[in-house]
């Protein structure tokens, strides 16, 4: 069960690791929400399916990581990354069915550290988010 968010001034306080899902499949969004709900101290703070909405969500709230599809209802995942720039952006995890060498190169060129396949790496995503949460706490 997830911990409730508490003030960082409390002894032993643990701040939640906040995740935004940027994905155009409603079915996959629900599957991800269910899967990530089992992680301790990780909270899905929203899910959007458009480039502009993703940029707005990141800029208007605290987001530690983005699970980012490349093909969106409007716009692209790469468009989200370009619009956010590199200053103080959250960790970006590309999560796509389009695992092509040219997309992986472009992701690397944009400073994206994590590039996962929806089919091959589905089980890896929760583990990665838990690892990132642990690094934030350390």
Q: CA-based Rg of the chain, rounded to a whole angstrom?
A: 15
In this predicted structure, what is the pLDDT of residue 61?
86
* Percent of the chain with pLDDT strictly greater than 70: 89
pLDDT tens sequence across 1-46: 222 233 333 445 566 899 999 999 999 999 999 999 999 999 999 9
DSSP state of 43: E
CB-based burial of residue 14 (10 Å sphere; 0-12 exposed, 13-18 middle, 19+ buried)?
middle
Domains along the sequence of the chain with CATH: 17-128 (3.40.50.2300)
In this predicted structure, what is the pLDDT of residue 14?
62
DSSP alpha helix (H) spans, the chain? 26-36, 51-60, 77-84, 101-109, 124-137
CA–CA distance, 47 with 125 (Å, rounded to integer): 16
* Percent of the chain with pLDDT strictly greater than 90: 83
In this predicted structure, what is the pLDDT of residue 4?
29
């Amino acid at each position: 069960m997830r911990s409730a968010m508490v003030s960082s001034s409390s002894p032993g306080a643990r701040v939640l690791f906040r995740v935004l899902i940027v994905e155009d499949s409603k079915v996959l969004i629900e599957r991800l929400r269910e899967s990530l709900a089992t992680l301790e101290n990780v909270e899905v703070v929203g899910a959007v399916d458009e480039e502009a909405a993703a940029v707005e969500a990141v800029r208007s709230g605290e987001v530690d990581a983005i699970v980012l599809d490349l093909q969106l209802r409007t716009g692209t995942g790469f468009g989200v990354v370009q619009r956010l720039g590199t200053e103080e952006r959250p960790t970006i995890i590309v999560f796509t069915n389009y695992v092509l060498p040219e997309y992986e190169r472009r992701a690397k060129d944009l400073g994206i550290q994590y590039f996962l396949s929806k089919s091959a790496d589905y089980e890896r995503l929760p583990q990665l988010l838990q690892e990132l949460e642990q690094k934030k706490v350390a």
